[in-house]
Amino acid sequence: MSSPEAGLPRLHPSSTAGAQPDLEPGAQEATLVDQLLAGNRRALSRLLSIAERGGPRAAGVLRVLYPRTGRAHVVGVTGPPGAGKSTLVGAMARDFRTRGQTVGIVAVDPTSPFTGGAILGDRVRMLDLQSDPGVFVRSMASRGAAGGLARGTADLVAVLDAFGMDVVIVETVGAGQDEVEIVRMVDTTVVVAVPGLGDDVQALKAGILEIADILVVNKADREGAEQVAKDLLGALRLAESGPWQVPVLQTIASTGHGVDELVDAILRHRAYLESSGTWRQRRVEVARRRVLALVEDQVHQRLERAFDAERWRTRFEQAAARAADPYALAGEALAELGASINGEAASA
Amino acid sequence: MSTEVMPRARVLIAKPGLDGHDRGAKVVARALRDAGFEVIYTGIRQTPEMIAEAALQEDVDAIGLSILSGAHMTLFPRVLEELRKRGLGDVLVWAGGIIPSEDVPKLKAMGIAEVFGPGTPTSETVAFLRRALAQRAAHA
């Protein structure tokens, strides 16, 4: 699934070395970036696609855009399938618009692990936003990435941020337990629960509760909503609480009930992040994880290529026959990788 | 596998106009997903502006229009016009639904790449889309 698309430049070794002279945007990308910064939505859309595909072409663009990012308030919305996340995200966007804020939305839906295809249906819940020039909605297939997001989600957020969106909302794949990747790339995490999913609260306790900055019980007109809210408050009391008190709110996304209070809480959370210094701390952490992920990607790609060589195939056969062991081979692979990177740096 | 031929092509399936029957559109959406496409499904009662705007925001390679109401001769040209207005004149557009055969040449002259009637096997739609997108990629 990670093969670059035909026609795109391949990630050849020299483009990943020290100074990375090749990671400059091409003429076409440079034009798109200029158009994006001038507010062109078609250019925004094309750049989102480039960012999603990844590879050196995306890296070139993202490097240029990076200094222009960091202004948007990035809000993650996660919760079990059927909790009404898409409808809630639409309602939140509408509310932000009444406050004069522009909104970018990245909605992630699952890719079929069997065919690689996907049906992205989150837009259906946000149709009325379609003609608002202050809103831009992009659907994204998870393409096998774990954690309720897709591999390039952070890069799509960056492009929307650089475009000048005041708020960027990321909606995850329906998730319920340990899909906590979202918290690593957003400023404010909203976890959505609903009544009537049986052991819903138990599931939330297993990990997703800890990542919530704001808890929402959606479909609050349904029987059992009050109890879910009480259970969540109870669970919160058991958890160690920091200076930020996680609010438990009730919404009916389909009518907009409670959404104004939710957006108030999101803005309050931002104010808290800024006044407490947590805003900066979180973003340092986000940067650290981002670099780590990028390095992992590159190491992975280089090793996948290296392992195609005859020498490595022989080594794997030896490991299969227990004549070598994977632990030693991993050390060998890292040493070889280090040597090849040093070689490139020396010849650059 | 199919996904290697046309990696992750994005397709919008939309229903312009007022008829609320979306079973055909959903069957096609599912068949395309199973063939490895990423399908953005926007549901029923879409105006031409909404369809073009969704196509712009999603940067799709192709748009499938499903229509049963008989309003294709008025709605399709408006969809194409809204696409051109947004610089999306090069996006592949095809149609499915109940469309009289005498309208098909007119729609094709307008720029609708293909028209499929009721009962068309979904494999035919998939094959058409793969072929047409591969041709466009070769020309680009």
Which among A109, A124, A130, A165 is the top mutation candidate for probing chain B, defined by the most B β-carbons within 10 Å of its own β-carbon? A130
pLDDT of residue B1: 35
CB A192 within 8 A of CB A169: no
Q: Which tokens is B36 given?
A: 């490895």
Closest CA to B35 of B64, B76, B15: B64
Interface of A with B in 34-63 (CB under 8 A): 41-42, 45-46, 48-49
Interface of B with A in 101-130 (CB under 8 A): none
Q: Give SS3 for A42.
A: helix
More confident: B20 or A243: A243
Q: pTM for the full model?
A: 0.86
The Cα A341–Cα A18 span in angstroms is 8
Q: In whole numbers, what is the pLDDT of chain A averaged over residues?
A: 85
DSSP string, A258-292: THHHHHHHHHHHHHHHHHHTHHHHHHHHHHHHHHH
Residues from chain A contacting residue B42 (CB–CB below 8 Å): 123-124, 127
Order of strands, sheet of A103-109, starting from the edge strand that comes earlier in the sequence: A135-141, A103-109, A167-171, A73-78, A188-193, A214-217, A248-250
- In angstroms, the separation between the Cα of residue B68 and the nearest Cα of chain A is 20
Q: Is the pLDDT of residue A56 over 90?
A: no
Residues from chain A contacting residue B52 (CB–CB below 8 Å): none
Residues from chain A contacting residue B39 (CB–CB below 8 Å): 117-120
> Using one digit for the tens of pLDDT, what is the confidence trace for A259-310?
999 999 999 999 999 999 999 988 898 889 889 888 988 898 899 999 999 9
Cα dihedral across residues A255, A131, B37, B41: positive or negative: positive
Q: Is the pLDDT of residue A201 over 90?
A: no
pLDDT of residue B28: 92
CB A3 within 8 A of CB A301: no
ipTM, interface predicted TM-score of the complex: 0.89
Residues from chain B contacting residue A124 (CB–CB below 8 Å): 41-43
Residue range A56-63: average pLDDT? Answer: 91
Q: Residue B138: which residues within 8 A CB-CB, separation 6 or more?
A: none
pLDDT band at A177 (very low <50, low <70, confident <90, very high): low
Judge: B8–A143 Cβ closer than 8 Å, yes or no: yes
Q: Is B40 on the interface with A (CB under 8 A)?
A: yes
Residues in chain B, pLDDT under 70: 1-7, 140
pLDDT of residue A19: 41
Residues from chain A contacting residue B35 (CB–CB below 8 Å): 115, 117
- In angstroms, the separation between the Cα of residue A186 and the nearest Cα of chain B is 22
Q: Which residue of B has its CA nearest to A136?
A: B57
Phi, psi of A234 (to 5 degrees): -60, -45
Q: Which residue of A has its CA nearest to B49?
A: A131
pLDDT of residue A268: 97
Q: Which tokens is A189 given?
A: 């995490």
Kindly state the percentage of chain A with pLDDT values over 90.
Answer: 52
Closest CA to A249 of A272, A228, A267, A234: A228
Q: Is B50 on the interface with A (CB under 8 A)?
A: yes
Which among A115, A126, A151, A173 is the top mutation candidate for probing chain B, defined by the most B β-carbons within 10 Å of its own β-carbon? A115
Indicate the residue of A1, A117, A124 with minimum beta-carbon distance to B34: A117
CB B66 within 8 A of CB B15: yes
Interface of A with B in 252-271 (CB under 8 A): none
Which domains are seen in chain B, by residue range?
Answer: 10-138 (3.40.50.280)
- In angstroms, the separation between the Cα of residue B73 and the nearest Cα of chain A is 24
Indicate the residue of A117, A123, A136 with minimum beta-carbon distance to B38: A117
Residue range A311-340: average pLDDT? Answer: 96
What percentage of chain A's residues is helix, strand, coil (to nearest 5)?
Answer: 50, 10, 35
Residues from chain B contacting residue A115 (CB–CB below 8 Å): 2-3, 33-36
How big is the CA angle at A126 (ends B3 and B99), to the nearest 5 degrees? Answer: 65
Q: Residue A111: which residues within 8 A CB-CB, separation 6 or more?
A: A117, A118, A141, A142, A143, A144, B38
Alpha helices in B67-121 (DSSP H): 72-85, 104-110
* Superfamily for the A70-275 domain: P-loop containing nucleotide triphosphate hydrolases (3.40.50.300)
Q: Is B57 on the interface with A (CB under 8 A)?
A: yes
Exposed, middle or buried: residue A310 (CB in 10 Å: 0-12, 13-18, 19+)? exposed
More confident: B27 or A116: B27
Indicate the residue of B41, B88, B137 with minimum beta-carbon distance to A120: B41
Judge: B7–A42 Cβ closer than 8 Å, yes or no: no
Residue ranges, CATH 3.40.50.300, chain A: 70-275
Q: DSSP E strands: which ranges in chain A?
A: 73-78, 103-109, 118-120, 135-141, 167-171, 188-193, 214-217, 248-250
Determine if residue A287 is left, alpha or beta; phi over 0 gives left, psi from -120 to 50 gives alpha, anything else beta: alpha
pLDDT of residue A205: 59
Indicate the residue of A41, A48, A116 with minimum beta-carbon distance to B3: A116
Judge: A116–B49 Cβ closer than 8 Å, yes or no: no
